[in-house]
Structure 1
Amino acid sequence: MSIDNTAGDTALGTVDGGLSSAEVAERVAAGKTNDVPARASRTVGQIVRANVLTRINAIYGVLFAIIMSTGYFLDGMFGLLIIFNSGIGMIQELRAKRTLEKLAIVGQARPTVRRDGAATEIPPNEIVLDDVIELGPGDKIVVDGLVLAADALEIDESLLTGESDPVVKHHGDQVLSGSFVVAGGGAYRATKVGADAYAAKLAEEASKFTLVKSELRSGIDKILKFITYLLIPAGALTIYNQLFNVNKPLADALRGMVAALVPMVPEGLILMTSIAFAVGVVRLGQRQCLVQELPAIEGLARVDVVCADKTGTLTENGMRLAEVRNENGDDSVNLALAALARTEARPNASLQAILEAFPDDPGWHATTVAPFSSARKWSGASFADHGNWVLGAPDVLLPSGDAARAEAERIGSQGLRVLLLGKSDLSLDSGDAPGTVRPAALVVLEQKVRPDAKDTLDYFASQNVTVKVISGDNALSVGAVASSLGLPNSEDPLDARNLPEDKEQLAGVLEERAVFGRVTPAQKRSMVGALQSRKHTVAMTGDGVNDVLALKDADIGVAMGSGSPATRAVAQIVLLDNKFATLPHVVGEGRRVIGNIERVSNLFLTKTVYSVILALMVGIAQVNYPFLPRHVTVIAWFTIGLPAFVLSLAPNNERARTGFVARVMRMAIPAGAIIATATFVSYMLVRTKATDEQAGTTALITLMIVALWVLAIVARPYKWWKIGLIALMSVASFLLFVLPFAQEFFLLDPSNTGFTTQAVGIAAIGVVLVEIVWWIQRKLNAPAETD
């Protein structure tokens, strides 16, 4: 590494060789290690407790114990839902846990540590106290420490302090875990490891495997809490009615109470939500997508703007030197390029391409080095016998109107990257560097467009998702690449230096334009905020350290697996295969999860509504409850449980919208009221003329027909497999009433043709009314759907 340009600092080459193997072993034995969980995934015990000790299972457990005490064991079949609720949730989460932990190992930052005089990459949890850790651009600082060597070292501590400006670090300065290197290099000694380091708390908070709060889950929780409060008065009314008005024995009264209360609980809604989230994580894991925060699953369904960088997203990371245009016929141009490419220990893609083109070392000795940073957009070095050379953006280093700058813009408009190689009149350790720059050559680099980039952009266009290309490169160059891919509104790229600072004005420009060049890290962050101020849900993709702030502020941050550790640390989604083309699958998975949960919520909450209303009607009328617990169990199987499981895993590309609870209840409340009323009328018309089994069967026929029609509505728009699902459930329900074994097991008696015909007729009226409700609801939702 080159000599440091800051007086008093120590060059990395002079740093000691680090700890010896014996010293490492001594610290490991003393527990002075950084051995903290790389991810805060729940333990097996926590997963079991979280899935067993739930509000739903507690309610069902109490009702199951009550029915067991009566001796009617067959009526306790609903108790199997406790096993299903817990078992399926545990299995899916354990599978997701294994997938996430395997992927976390792949995506883990591996710091370079000096031991026994040699540098080696190790996992963060193997760092011990007093380890010497090397730093380079993009490296994340994984433990706290003190700087031993600094070579123009600049640290971004924005994740800790909120201050976006990099902090220059010198020998003896403190560095904190959670920050990252934006320029230069160096080394530091670990002073705090494990739980003492800030990184442990940061990683645990950012990577926690938990179904955290979201609009979807908070809405379901509100509904469940309300239902829990309803159960107490409904149960009291039912048991009072059964004991004192109908004069049933205690066992039969308890049996009727349980039959009334069980269907009030949307037991499968939590189960289906957990399954949908867990399956979504596993599916994304199979596509090499590391989900670091589960709210990303829901957020992805709501994305309507994707902000993407050009380099590494639309184009491949690697570059190739296409041409060196020597402006003045200077013979030292090639030598200067070769020398500059060797001044940085970790060259960026541009310097790496130059290094590959000029593999021979010219032997120039650098006295001062100015590493590249995205803030100033140039790098350079002062060489003892060969002057001061800079390499960077022509529109930054040259004044407006300069011929070389104009030529660079012309070349850049063709989609090529153009750097200016120039000589400076000032040493690069001067505060006014680079001073006046005399052009020496234009360095033309080319990037390869990703073969799948166009298909990805076409997908987003078809889904009404707007793509904004936000790059630090020349605007014309970025626009040329975007136009070649057919991105809408890419013909008029905008230089970000001309963007207004006012958020409202900035939002207006962002709505109109699609391609932006010369965007600084602070501007990327401002652009994300401006889009969010217009009620957009923004996903930001990136791979470089200059993307970190925007990734952190975006609704969904998507980092490339090959990007810097800092970007992977703050992103909710990491594309470990580095393919932008994976993102449509990620967005589609989010839409599938949220869209399907809203779809099946209509089924579960309709059942809850009709169960509550029917129980109140029966209590007020002071008549016997028409159903047994085994009846409500089979209703749940054929009209809700099995269909909901299939529908929750089906494809669904509809973009999610806010207002989940209100939208679902607009359908569930009237549909539930119609089902309850139709069932109650059907029951009351035959109650005095039929046996208890015949009256219950008549009511059950009415309920099943209307409930199956609600299923048919929820399944729209139809596909062959949905039609098959509805047909299968209808046939299964029909067989329930005609098979002798089923009649005996479920205590059904459909033998009276008149009662059955009456039940079907009332059900037909209910079907018509439910269909009207659906059409009205569709009209009410139409404006929102076209937004």
Structure 2
Amino acid sequence: MSIVAHHTVITSRNGVWATLRVRGLLRNATLASRLESAGADSLEVRLATGSVRVRLTAERDEAFWTEWLSVTVKAHSGGKAPVSPAPAVPQRLKAARRQPRTAASTAVDAGSGADTAHSAPIDRLLAQLAGNRPIDVERGLSVAEAQARLAQDGPNEIRDITGRSTSEILLGQFKSVPVALLGGSAALALGTRAFADAGAIGAVLAANATLGFVTERRAEETVSSLRKLGPRQTTVLRDGATVTIDAREVVVGDVLVLKPGEPVAADARVVEAHRLATNEAALTGESLPVRKEPIAALPEDTPLGERRNMVFMGTVVSGGAGLAVVVATAEHAALGRIRQLAQGTEAPRTQLQQELDSLGKRLAIGAATLCVGVFALGALRGRPLLPLLRTAVSLGVAAIPEGLPTVATSLLAAGVRSLQQRQVFARRLDAIENLGAVDTVCFDKTGTLTQNRMSVASLTVGDELIVLEDHESPPTLPDAWLRVAVLCNSVERVNGDPAGPWQGSSTEIALLEFAVEQGADAAQLRRSHATMGVRHRSEHHPYMVTLHDSTERGLLVAVKGRPDEVLARCETWFDGQGTQPLKPAQRRRLLQLNDEMAVRGDRVLALAFREHPDRSFGETAGLCWLGLVGLADPLRPDLPQMVQRFRAAGIRPLMITGDQLGTAQAVALRIGLNHGQPMVDAAQLPESAALIADVAEHASGFARTSPAMKLEIVRALQQRGHVVAMTGDGINDGPALKTADVGVAMGVTGTDFAHAMSDLVLRDDHPAAMLQAIEQGRTAFVNIKKSVRYLVATNLSELAATTFAVAAGLPEPFDPLALLWTNIVTDIWPAIALGLEPAEPGIMEQPPVSLRGGLLERSEWGAVATDASTMTLASLASFGYGLARYGAGPQARTLAFMTLTSSQLLYALAMRSGRPLRSGGLQPNPMLHRAVGWSLAAQAGTVLLPFARRVLRTTPIGPIDALVVATTAVLPLLARELLKERRR
């Protein structure tokens, strides 16, 4: 979109005017001439800012001018004549306004009377909400009234209905195909009066269900602990005082005090707004800010996303400030009713879980087909059908790695817990998957690469640049400079304590503290210059404006913001001695000073003011330039080493910042980010997504980026196939954090909005913690592949051994219950222990992982088949020895059973790494050693304990038999290690 709303609406004697930014207009005199000739007296072009000022009427509203400008700019690009604005609203806009509401908004509209709050006149709405006494918007509710309403309506919180209950998790353990096969086998056993078999199968079912339930319940608790459905605290008016309360204590009738970066605690009607905008992504999916205004009333059927006089629970104030009266809380809020719609749904499965399910289904189909073949072949050979059927069913159950989904869920949840121990908090399980595949990391500068502790480092007086560290004492500053620094500032004392610390942005705190150090009396200035209005800095309004009433000088307009934007609105300047007209040569000199300060790495702001008699903002022009101030934000330690480690890991680091190009270049040079690639001025980027992607492929970073441009850059990288992580801490980072494959927010300096949009939160704010998170993601993915390969190879060996024996006319090598025992002993604990294997040496020197080839690539299937064959041959060799020595019977089956189970458990040790175990370098994995050790001990109990022998139909084995079992069981482990040596 080439036309962007500037969110500036001004009422003057000449009518109502709005400012729209037109991409491509900046210093484009030809396009400006075309727009002016076509727009006549309804349009003013401003080349210095690339914006257009348009007159608003009933027939030509902001939407009309947005479309007209888009058409005219496209006509100019195509060489066509400009189009004169017709007085009617374009048909496309009319059609868009008649579009039916979405299902979500319709469902929300079907709630309580709060759904009509946007359409009721404000006085009638306040009367409806009044209760015991009228609501005074300037004072809010009394404490007593609020407590009474809280007792009546209950707390303002939404019950978490997205997680599965305990009973749902338990019942889910009995809904799989393997369990159905086990149940069928148990039914057959009962039908043939084989009660011991049925009891053993029941025990297997109970063990599987218990293990799955415990694992999935723990994973669900981990995820639920990370879910936050609402803000913890909010600001309201109570008895005329601004107080901060727990958001659960907000009641209908409360007056919310809306501030930038703070979440909205409940649905509320806007009664006062100063450039107020909220992000409603939680409700509508729209990631860009939505303008909010105290509009008298809207049509009752206005869709949720177009209710500009309402703010909603679960959204975040992205700019400006205002007041709003609460009309709905808890389940009655729009977010609460949408949550109720999701009560019967299940959380989406991650890509990895889907891949595991797909693999399990393919293996199940293959195993079932082969089991049918085994049954048919055995029947042709004249074997008893019922025992053969039980064997085939048990073989099918044993051949299906039903532990795959359980293993995946538990390992992802373990990854989340491991990150928590490293002070990295993951909000979703699939963040662990995506971390391992990240190949591009986009860093925000302020608060991420820097410590967000600003201090004044340089300034200008007249046309002289003064670097403070080069002077023993700063120069004497004019009173107007100090006055603007103090007044055009939203910093306040904590809890209003005159002796307390300042709270607010680090930039404004640094500026205010510097002014105080230079002799400014902040408290006295604020008392003598009452604030009449504030326009906060926003995406399309890169400067802050405050209006003050002064008994000495009349009305004062104080301005602080981006130097080029402020300078474009100045007509005079302070030269160090007095006020002088601002000539073109002097403008160029001031911009040159700005560049010199930016090259030092300072964040540069301009200060300006104007005194005038009007009691309204009016047009922000005719200002007097006071000077520049450069603020330095120290970089976090060890950033150059961090950048090198990212590159060594095959991850490309980029910086995306809203700062000026010179500042960004200085920071990139200091931390080694440039790497021979240019830093790009995002304001000059083409509108085409393809061209943005071309630029992004060869840049070290982007300066002067808006939230919308950050979003476009992330999307452009993703369209090129990159897996992108985005770090940030502020409101302006929110859209990009939400869109990135992995959004990473700072835990200390990050806003609630940034936290809500992110997948990870870094507790200590240092972006180097991402390296640990990425290492964890890669390790988790590699370990899951190890577990999958282990499960597939071991289960195939069970299937292959029985199939070969039946095909060769040999007796069945395994009792059905023995196969079930092998399945339960080898499928879960060793696989989970493999999944918790520590990171292999050099994992961060390897390329990012990829799921494109699946969990088992074609090259790996050959290795899986080889390992399954060695375990099959080992068990058949032991079975052959038993047949030769004892003949067909339980002794031979016991030897085959002991060898198969033991070889699978020892094979788990070979799966620890792709390098030979004797090469060393691996960190210890005590859980795997315990899993293998205890499982081998349990396996020994099947021949040592009389009860186990009766159930599993095994026999005791002597020393020679034990030696045969040990020798054959270790062969698959040795074979895999020899193959590793040969490959290396």
TM-score range, shorter chain: 0.7 to 0.9
Partner of 1:192: 328
The reply on whether 1:280 has 2:415 as its aligned counterpart is: yes
Counterpart AA for 2:515: F
Counterpart AA for 2:540: A
SS across alignment from 1:657: coil
- The aligned runs of 1:400-549 (5 Å cut-off) are 402-423=588-609, 434-435=620-621, 438-451=624-637, 453-454=639-640, 456-487=642-673, 489=675, 492-549=678-735
Query: How many angstroms apart in 2 are the aligned matches of 1:539 and 1:209?
Result: 29
Q: Is the 8 A contact 1:135 1:186 kept in 2?
A: yes
The reply on whether 1:167 has 2:332 as its aligned counterpart is: no
- The structure-2 alpha-carbon separation of the partners of 1:249 and 1:521, relative to structure 1 and needing over 3 Å to count, comes to closer
CA deviation profile, 1:532-588 (whole Å, cap 9, x unmatched): 112111111112111111111111112223422222222222334444343233223
- The structure-2 alpha-carbon separation of the partners of 1:368 and 1:737, relative to structure 1 and needing over 3 Å to count, comes to closer
Partner of 1:783: none
Counterpart AA for 1:440: L
CA deviation profile, 1:134-163 (whole Å, cap 9, x unmatched): 101122334322111122323344662637
Query: How many angstroms apart in 1 are the aligned matches of 2:776 and 2:638?
Result: 19
Counterpart AA for 2:889: D
Aligned residues: 771
Range with greater deviation from structure 2 (124-133 or 100-109):
100-109
Partner of 1:120: 243
The reply on whether 1:394 has 2:570 as its aligned counterpart is: no
Partner of 2:67: none
Query: How many angstroms apart in 2 are the aligned matches of 1:81 and 1:121?
Result: 56
Q: 2:759 aligns with which of 572, 575, 579?
A: 572
Query: How many angstroms apart in 2 are the aligned matches of 1:247 and 1:93?
Result: 42
CA-CA distance at 1:300 after TM superposition:
1.6
- The structure-2 alpha-carbon separation of the partners of 1:687 and 1:451, relative to structure 1 and needing over 3 Å to count, comes to same
Query: How many angstroms apart in 1 are the aligned matches of 2:958 and 2:725?
Result: 61
Query: How many angstroms apart in 1 are the aligned matches of 2:175 and 2:725?
Result: 35
Q: Is the 8 A contact 2:272 2:294 kept in 1?
A: yes
Partner of 1:354: 511
CA-CA distance at 1:377 after TM superposition:
1.9
Query: How many angstroms apart in 2 are the aligned matches of 1:38 and 1:632?
Result: 42
Range with greater deviation from structure 2 (135-144 or 51-60):
51-60
Partner of 1:590: 777
Q: 1:381 aligns with which of 539, 546, 563?
A: 546
CA-CA distance at 1:478 after TM superposition:
2.6
CA-CA distance at 1:527 after TM superposition:
0.6
Query: How many angstroms apart in 2 are the aligned matches of 1:211 and 1:233?
Result: 32
Partner of 1:660: 854
The reply on whether 1:256 has 2:443 as its aligned counterpart is: no
Q: 2:137 aligns with which of 2, 7, 15?
A: 15
Query: How many angstroms apart in 1 are the aligned matches of 2:399 and 2:711?
Result: 47
- The structure-2 alpha-carbon separation of the partners of 1:211 and 1:83, relative to structure 1 and needing over 3 Å to count, comes to farther
Q: Percent of counterpart pairs with the same letter?
A: 25
CA-CA distance at 1:493 after TM superposition:
2.5
- The structure-2 alpha-carbon separation of the partners of 1:30 and 1:726, relative to structure 1 and needing over 3 Å to count, comes to closer
Partner of 1:785: none
Query: How many angstroms apart in 1 are the aligned matches of 2:622 and 2:259?
Result: 29
Query: How many angstroms apart in 2 are the aligned matches of 1:445 and 1:738?
Result: 73
Partner of 1:297: 432
Range with greater deviation from structure 2 (85-94 or 732-741):
732-741
RMSD, matched Cα: 4.6
The reply on whether 1:337 has 2:485 as its aligned counterpart is: yes
Partner of 2:792: 605
CA-CA distance at 1:518 after TM superposition:
0.8
- Which of 1 and 2 has higher RCO (CA within 8 Å, sep 6+)? 1
Q: Is the 8 A contact 2:254 2:326 kept in 1?
A: yes
Range with greater deviation from structure 2 (642-651 or 38-47):
38-47
- The structure-2 alpha-carbon separation of the partners of 1:404 and 1:60, relative to structure 1 and needing over 3 Å to count, comes to farther
CA-CA distance at 1:185 after TM superposition:
0.8
Q: 2:912 aligns with which of 691, 715, 726?
A: 715
Counterpart AA for 1:393: R
Q: Is the 8 A contact 2:379 2:385 kept in 1?
A: yes
SS across alignment from 2:262: coil
Q: Is the 8 A contact 2:734 2:753 kept in 1?
A: yes
Partner of 1:782: none
Query: How many angstroms apart in 2 are the aligned matches of 1:628 and 1:98?
Result: 39
Query: How many angstroms apart in 1 are the aligned matches of 2:618 and 2:344?
Result: 46
Range with greater deviation from structure 2 (259-268 or 294-303):
259-268
SS across alignment from 2:544: strand
Range with greater deviation from structure 2 (132-141 or 222-231):
222-231
CA deviation profile, 1:238-280 (whole Å, cap 9, x unmatched): 5666677454484x54653454233212133333222212222
Q: Is the 8 A contact 1:112 1:119 kept in 2?
A: yes
Query: How many angstroms apart in 2 are the aligned matches of 1:304 and 1:766?
Result: 35
CA-CA distance at 1:21 after TM superposition:
4.5
Structure with greater Cα Rg: 2
Q: Is the 8 A contact 1:489 1:513 kept in 2?
A: no
- The aligned runs of 1:731-750 (5 Å cut-off) are 741=944, 745=949, 747=954
Counterpart AA for 1:122: I
Query: How many angstroms apart in 2 are the aligned matches of 1:290 and 1:573?
Result: 5
Q: Is the 8 A contact 2:437 2:850 kept in 1?
A: yes
Query: How many angstroms apart in 1 are the aligned matches of 2:348 and 2:293?
Result: 37
Range with greater deviation from structure 2 (529-538 or 368-377):
368-377
CA deviation profile, 1:267-314 (whole Å, cap 9, x unmatched): 333332222122222233344444332221211221111112111111
Counterpart AA for 1:656: V
Q: Is the 8 A contact 1:525 1:553 kept in 2?
A: yes
Query: How many angstroms apart in 2 are the aligned matches of 1:577 and 1:80?
Result: 48
CA-CA distance at 1:531 after TM superposition:
0.8
Query: How many angstroms apart in 2 are the aligned matches of 1:730 and 1:565?
Result: 48
- The structure-2 alpha-carbon separation of the partners of 1:570 and 1:597, relative to structure 1 and needing over 3 Å to count, comes to same
CA-CA distance at 1:601 after TM superposition:
0.3
Query: How many angstroms apart in 2 are the aligned matches of 1:769 and 1:585?
Result: 31
Q: Is the 8 A contact 2:686 2:692 kept in 1?
A: yes
Q: Is the 8 A contact 1:682 1:759 kept in 2?
A: no
Query: How many angstroms apart in 2 are the aligned matches of 1:94 and 1:738?
Result: 30
Query: How many angstroms apart in 2 are the aligned matches of 1:317 and 1:241?
Result: 74
- The structure-2 alpha-carbon separation of the partners of 1:370 and 1:769, relative to structure 1 and needing over 3 Å to count, comes to closer
- TM-score where L is the length of structure 2: 0.68
Query: How many angstroms apart in 2 are the aligned matches of 1:579 and 1:544?
Result: 15
SS across alignment from 1:188: strand
Q: Is the 8 A contact 1:156 1:180 kept in 2?
A: yes
CA-CA distance at 1:36 after TM superposition:
1.1
- The structure-2 alpha-carbon separation of the partners of 1:423 and 1:221, relative to structure 1 and needing over 3 Å to count, comes to same
Q: 1:644 aligns with which of 791, 814, 831?
A: 831
Counterpart AA for 1:668: V
CA deviation profile, 1:79-123 (whole Å, cap 9, x unmatched): 655455444454455555556666657994422123343333334
Counterpart AA for 1:113: V
Partner of 2:254: 131
Query: How many angstroms apart in 1 are the aligned matches of 2:644 and 2:392?
Result: 57
- The structure-2 alpha-carbon separation of the partners of 1:507 and 1:680, relative to structure 1 and needing over 3 Å to count, comes to same
- The structure-2 alpha-carbon separation of the partners of 1:556 and 1:64, relative to structure 1 and needing over 3 Å to count, comes to farther
Q: Is the 8 A contact 1:521 1:550 kept in 2?
A: yes
The reply on whether 1:563 has 2:699 as its aligned counterpart is: no
